[in-house]
Amino acid sequence: MSFSIESKLGDLLDNPTTKEILEKHLPGISTHPQIAMGRGFALSVVAKFSGGLITEDLLNKVNAELTALG
């Protein structure tokens, strides 16, 4: 399975490798009180509702690492 910021947040959080990438760039994302609401959406969509906390720059960095996994 290949991963990207278009992957569902829940899938990214359920995989130890991709969860580590998310936590590296977005510390605390896996334990955020409202994270359950976003699990069914792509990370790129969740970012739009983050109030600016997940920036385009962060998305690009996360995406580069996720897609490099193959």
Q: What is the largest CA-CA distance in the chain?
A: 31
Is 3 part of a structural domain of the chain?
A: no
CA geometry: angle 54, 58, 67, nearest 5 deg: 120
Is 2 part of a structural domain of the chain?
A: no
Q: Using one digit for the tens of pLDDT, what is the confidence trace for 46-60?
A: 999 888 889 999 999
Is 1 part of a structural domain of the chain?
A: no
State the pLDDT at residue 67: 96
Non-local CB neighbours of 8 within 8 Å, separated by 6+ positions: 39, 40, 41, 42
Query: How many independent structural domains does the chain possess?
Result: 1
State the pLDDT at residue 39: 95
User: What number is the average pLDDT over the span 5-26?
Assistant: 96
For the whole model, what pTM was predicted?
A: 0.91
Domain that holds residue 53: 9-68
Q: Using one digit for the tens of pLDDT, what is the confidence trace for 32-47?
A: 988 899 999 999 999 9
